[in-house]
Every structure is written in structure tokens, then in C-alpha cells.
Amino acid sequence: MNGEKIYIKLDGHKKDRYGRFLVYAFLKDNERSINETIIFEGYGVAYTKYNFKYKERFLKAEENAKALKKGIWKAGCL
């Protein structure tokens, strides 16, 4: 992954209330976003307070991480 280019997609709001950019980061030829991969590997959660383009995909990635006990979902981590 070192040196690979990524591309950014925006969805709705460009920044959150703290001024952070809200983006989806994709590797050039990858259909899964880096954001989704982080959730799928169990190192993030799908924040679902608001609707967003990839909400269902992120929720599915979180469900899979929980089912496979990955990352923060490992037994005893939470």
C-alpha cells in the first residue's frame, strides 16, 4: 500500500461540526473504501446518526467484524 494513490469522494456535507473533512478514501482499483476496510477489520464502527451514501455497506462491514470477532470485537476487548 506504500506509495499507492488514493482518490477521495465526498458525500453531502464536506466538513463536520469540528471542521474535519468528511470523505471516503478509495484505492485506485478497489471497490471497498479504506473507511469500510477499517470497519471490516474491527478497528472502527459505523457511525449511523446521520444518513450517508455508504451507510448500509458500513453496517454490513461492522456486522461481519462482530461475527468474526475481529479487532475491537475480539472476546474480552469490550
Q: What's the CATH code of the domain at 59?
A: 2.40.50.90
Assigned domain for 1 exists: no
Higher-confidence residue of 12 and 19: namely 19
Within-domain flag for 78: no
Determine the structural domain holding residue 31 and report its residue range.
6-73
Regarding predicted confidence, which is higher, 35 or 53?
Answer: 35
**How much is the pLDDT for 78?**
64
pTM: 0.82
The letter for the amino acid at 45 is: V
Is 58 strand, coil or helix? helix
Q: Are 63 and 57 in contact (CB under 8 A)?
A: no
Percent of the chain predicted with pLDDT > 90: 46
Q: Per-residue pLDDT tens for 17-47?
A: 898 888 999 987 777 799 999 999 999 999 8
Q: Residue 28 class from Cβ within 10 Å (0-12 exposed, 13-18 middle, 19+ buried)?
A: exposed
